[in-house]
Structure 1
Amino acid sequence: MLSRLLLSFIAIFFKLPLFMLHGLGGLFGRIAYQFDHRFKERIDANVKRAFASLDRNDLKKLTSLAIREIGKCLMEAPAIWFNTPQKNFRWVKQCYGWNYVEAALKKKKGIIFLTPHLGCFEITAQYYAHFYPITVLFKRPKQKWLANIVISGRRHSHIHLAEANIQGVKQLMQALKKGEAIGILPDQVPNEGQGVWAQFFNTPAYTMTLVSKLAESSKATVLIGFGHRLSKGQGYEVFIEPLGSDHSPQGINDQLELLIRKHPSQYLWNYQRFKKPNK
């Protein structure tokens, strides 16, 4: 019953225009930073760790921008989940690098999309699914009511969900064998035994080995997808580029770091990227 009520509320509230959702999100981010001490401490620690060379004023400016973007991220995700695919597609104002997708599809070996916790990481799969099917790996939230909302919201005629377990990995492999695309959050901390420690912003971060294993076994093309959030709720720009030849955990971290340094305010700095893995 609770899940149904929440779904109804979300479906209504998140139909607001994007500029209003982003405005409310920016306000929410600032309030959370002021009153949620764990939220504040985590962001401060991660930003300072990543940009230790910045002086105090520049760190403060970056943090101020980042908390607004985090708030926008929290507000836009449910809106994207419960929008029609057509509306989500219209929110993308431009896509750069689609030629890499077309080249990969011609090889018929599949595509591995790496979408880090940067910008609007929900919009990239939605955009690709407007044209072709994609199987997306996800971690089921521990709270049942939240899991129901996330799963219901992420359903799409061309988006297939693969849970982060053995069965989910099999789904990813099957999609690649069919020459289809899969989507993975490469900076998501895997469970113990499913990753290795690799440097990320000069700090050891437990990094999944799944991407390198899938790339090696399938010979799929590995691309990075990034949904750049435009100001004032104008929508998004999708950027697609090749990962490069190094598919190792360290190679992936290096490329993600380069991308994040270009858009530091849009990274999800409250994410516990440097935590110990769960057993």
Structure 2
Amino acid sequence: MSPRTEPRCWLVAPARWVCRRVAGWPQRRLLRWGRVLAGVLTPLLAGRRRIARTNLALCFPTLDEAAREALVRANTRASVTGLLEMARAWYAPGGALRGLAEVEGLEHLQAARRGGRGVLLLTAHFPHLDLGGRLLGEALGEPLSCMVRRVDGSCGERLMQDGRQHAFASVIGKKDVRGLLRTLSRGGLVAYLADQNFTYNSAFVPFFGVPAATLTTTPDLARRAGVEILPYWCQRLPDGRYRVRIDPPWDEAHGSDPAAFAARYMRELEAVVRAHPEQYLWWHRRFKTRPAGEASPY
């Protein structure tokens, strides 16, 4: 690491200490502090909230302005709370997570793993993404691996890399296709996300009725590794606990039309998001890439 980078990251160690403390909080306290921090940080999140407002206007056009603003506020609370849930995912001892989640569809995962095969676990960007992967790993009795986008030289990236190494079996860079295939071929379980805006290997498919540039290479990766794709979703319930649901494999994963799989992915994700619309990463410019002739809404 260069001498110029090291001084900028002196906060990593104390931030790690704070994360470890947060990880041991009772769930009620964690959720309460998520609400408090959301109120404190709201003025600093104006840009992110503006993106969320645009996305929600596109995806929920029938909501009036007051209802959309209420949803923006709820999404801010969920997103900020997600930072605390991330700390819990990274550092909470297994016993602290006991009883925190109900897991459905484990039989689909057990069937896909017959013969020691790996599984590509397809999910999406929710505030409690890391915690959902940790909870699923606890239910299975073995940690998942995860594939994430890395930002070289970032202090926040250093903190996240350290935390995820505690919570996951391995952390694979988003562009490390060989690493992904190697992990799957060795029987690993890899959490994989493909729901953000893509400018390559993508197709425009509907997401809440809006054409969204969506990655199409997921089925090809599974074929190359010789594994199944199983979608899984995690949502926080009104009582503060979590539901992790594993779906059976989709027929589209075995077809010859990658765009059909991408369209199925967005349909299923939309159904999940509609159940708890505040619990999605609306801060991302999901519709930045547009079909020819359309301007970006941002």
TM tier relative to shorter chain: 0.7 to 0.9
Output one character per residue of 1:123-174: Cα deviation in whole Å (capped at 9) or x when no partner: 2321333323532101113552111110110113752110112xx2112212
SS for the counterpart of 2:150 is coil
Q: Choose from 131, 156, 181 the match for 2:166.
A: 156
User: Residues 88-167 of structure 1: matches in 2 within 5 Å?
Assistant: 88=97, 90=98, 92-106=100-114, 108-118=116-126, 120-130=128-138, 131-156=141-166, 159-165=169-175
SS for the counterpart of 2:203 is strand
Q: Choose from 72, 78, 81 the match for 1:63.
A: 72
Q: 2:247 matched to 1:241?
A: yes
Residues 1:243 and 1:263: Cα distance change in structure 2 (over 3 Å): farther
Residues 1:142 and 1:176: Cα distance change in structure 2 (over 3 Å): closer
Q: Report if aligned partners of 2:83, 2:127 keep a CA contact under 8 Å in 1.
A: no
Q: What does residue 256 of structure 2 align with?
A: none
Which 5+ residue runs of structure 1 have no aligned equivalent?
none
SS for the counterpart of 1:8 is helix
CA distance in 2, matches of 1:133, 1:265: 28
Output one character per residue of 1:66-92: Cα deviation in whole Å (capped at 9) or x when no partner: 22212211221123212224433x153
CA distance in 1, matches of 2:114, 2:190: 16
Q: 2:83 matched to 1:77?
A: no
Residues 1:92 and 1:30: Cα distance change in structure 2 (over 3 Å): same
CA distance in 1, matches of 2:197, 2:107: 31
Output one character per residue of 1:171-213: Cα deviation in whole Å (capped at 9) or x when no partner: 22122223332111221344x4343333322223222233121
CA distance in 1, matches of 2:168, 2:49: 37
User: Residues 178-217 of structure 1: matches in 2 within 5 Å?
Assistant: 178-190=186-198, 192-217=199-224
Moved more, 214-223 or 68-77: 214-223
Residues 1:119 and 1:5: Cα distance change in structure 2 (over 3 Å): closer
CA distance in 1, matches of 2:152, 2:61: 34
Q: CA deviation at 1:101?
A: 1.1
Identical columns (%) = 22
TM-score (norm 1): 0.85
Higher CA-based Rg: 2
Output one character per residue of 1:244-277: Cα deviation in whole Å (capped at 9) or x when no partner: 2123222211221122112212112112222349
CA distance in 2, matches of 1:256, 1:107: 29
Residue type of the partner of 1:181?
L
CA distance in 2, matches of 1:60, 1:179: 45
CA distance in 2, matches of 1:157, 1:72: 18
SS for the counterpart of 1:113 is strand
Q: Report if aligned partners of 1:66, 1:265 keep a CA contact under 8 Å in 2.
A: yes
Alignment size in residue pairs: 272
CA distance in 2, matches of 1:201, 1:243: 22
Output one character per residue of 1:202-240: Cα deviation in whole Å (capped at 9) or x when no partner: 2232222331211333342222222221335x4322111
Q: Choose from 264, 271, 277 the match for 2:284.
A: 271
Q: CA deviation at 1:42?
A: 1.1
Residues 1:5 and 1:132: Cα distance change in structure 2 (over 3 Å): closer
TM-score (norm 2): 0.80
Q: What does residue 250 of structure 1 align with?
A: 263
CA distance in 2, matches of 1:224, 1:23: 30
Moved more, 147-156 or 181-190: 181-190
Residues 1:76 and 1:128: Cα distance change in structure 2 (over 3 Å): closer
CA distance in 1, matches of 2:81, 2:49: 16
